[in-house]
Amino acid sequence: MSELKIGGVPATNLVAQYGTPLYVYDQEQLENNLQSYKQSFKSEKFPTKILYASKAFQTIGMMNLVHEYGFGVDVVSAGELYTALQSNVPVNKIHFHGNNKSTEELRMAFEAGVEHIVCDNVMELAELSELAKEYQQKMKIMFRLNVGIEAHTHEYIVTTHIDSKFGIAYESDDFKECLTILDQQEYLVLEGFHVHIGSQIFEMDAWYAAIDKMVSYLKDFNEPLTLNLGGGFGVRYTEEDQPLGIEETMNHLLTYLDEILTKEEVSIKELVIEPGRSLVAEAGYTLYEVGYQKKTPNKTYYFVDGGMADNIRPSLYQAKYSCDIATNMDAEKTELVTVAGKYCESGDVLIQDTYLPPVKKGDLLVVYATGAYGYSMSSNYNRSTTPAVIFVKNGQVKEIVRRQTLVDLLRNDVRE
């Protein structure tokens, strides 16, 4: 019986020390991804910058690793900003996004002195202008533009998403008003434009369509501005997903942008991207212990000791994952089963209809590619405790987040 190893350590050893469910990151895989972006997202024509989209998976340990590779970070809330500020990431590498930042959050960003704020709507700009004046502090701002393109996986749709909650349409009265507000104040400095067209995108055409639009807007401005193309680069969850890979995607993106800039005679100050999922998803594994099995007339269930509280994506988006029995990797996969969680909800199914070997109670089951939007979207549903997060590399284990305890769960409960 051969056993899964992650970062050189057998799964049973990891579980013996940290319990199940357990979020495990192969640190080498994380670092390979960071390195691939770093090496391939470079241009001789303009400076480039990579911001890690913290929402995909943020902890102090992850922030520190990202910083080691020289990346900046994007944050979208007081909590993400605070985490970044508590890590080694310098404040001038923190970029603040979000469609409804509170006054407190904006104040926090001014007081910390973040690198820039991505402004999402007119009301925010008006508030930013007042705050900058109050603090007598210069602040760079980017506008998040809605280019009317929405891309998911293999499809993209142009001009259907004008009603998005995110961003400002370039041709709108709102955008004109933004430019007027900018003209009438002295502290906010227009840094450039931002766009994010969606997630889990595999086809380059969606990026090309977004680039066309953004470059046409940049052309209206005399000075070179920064262009931020957001995140959304696709990853492999199951065999159905066939991403191009980081290097190839970056090459296509840079080549296309370069061509359009030359053709349109537009210069940019800097090119920025914000990958989240593609940096962390495939480096993450979740280990569960198999509990009971149950046969119904049409199904066999394998139950595991986690589920929707540690990975909401299957129930929320019908996201697909693949899995193995980590304690029996070579066994023949003879059983057609559904892997379900332990939470009180029928939708708490991690993987529908997959082939696995026969199992016994206590075996370990691994779900692959859980590194993005797993821990970061976890909950305490059914008063479950959030699993530990560990990084493993060359046989060495580093605890990144401690498992929550029952005492942690009650920390904010008022007893009287």
**Residues engaged in binding ligand LLP (CB under 6 A):** 53, 56, 74, 97, 196, 199, 230-233, 274-278, 313, 372-373
DSSP 153-187: ETEEEESS-TT-SS-B-TTSHHHHHHHHHHHT-SS
Main-chain phi, psi angles of 211, to 5 degrees: -65, -45
Q: Which residues contact 220 (CB under 8 A, 6 or more apart)?
A: none
Q: Taking the complex as a whole, how short is the minimal distance between the CB of residue 391 and ligand LLP, in angstroms?
A: 19
In terms of CB distance, is 37 or 233 closer to ligand LLP? 233
Residue 411 marked ligand-binding: no
C-alpha distances (whole Å) from 201 to each of 38, 275, 281, 347 are 20, 11, 14, 26
In terms of CB distance, is 67 or 194 closer to ligand LLP? 194
Cβ(213)–Cβ(207) under 8 Å?
no
Main-chain phi, psi angles of 101, to 5 degrees: -70, 140
Eight-class DSSP state of 185: -
In terms of CB distance, is 233 or 303 closer to ligand LLP? 233
Q: Taking the complex as a whole, how short is the minimal distance between the CB of residue 246 and ligand LLP, in angstroms?
A: 11
Residue 250 to residue 227: CA distance in whole angstroms: 15
In terms of CB distance, is 22 or 369 closer to ligand LLP? 369
In terms of CB distance, is 201 or 364 closer to ligand LLP? 201
Residue 18 marked ligand-binding: no
Q: Taking the complex as a whole, how short is the minimal distance between the CB of residue 361 and ligand LLP, in angstroms?
A: 31
Q: Taking the complex as a whole, how short is the minimal distance between the CB of residue 386 and ligand LLP, in angstroms?
A: 17
Single-letter code of the amino acid located at 167: G
Residue 368 marked ligand-binding: no
Residue 105 marked ligand-binding: no
Residue 276 marked ligand-binding: yes
Single-letter code of the amino acid located at 26: D
Candidates 177, 172, 210, 180; CA nearest to 193 is 210
Q: Taking the complex as a whole, how short is the minimal distance between the CB of residue 300 and ligand LLP, in angstroms?
A: 28
Task: Find the distance separating the first CA and the last CA of the chain, reported in whole Å.
Answer: 54
Question: Which residues does the annotation mark as catalytic?
Answer: 344
Residue 313 marked ligand-binding: yes
Largest separation between any pair of C-alpha atoms in the chain? 71
Sequence ranges of the binding site for pyridoxal 5'-phosphate: 232, 274-277, 373
Sequence ranges of the binding site: 232, 274-277, 313, 317, 345, 373
Sequence ranges of the binding site for substrate: 277, 313, 317, 345, 373
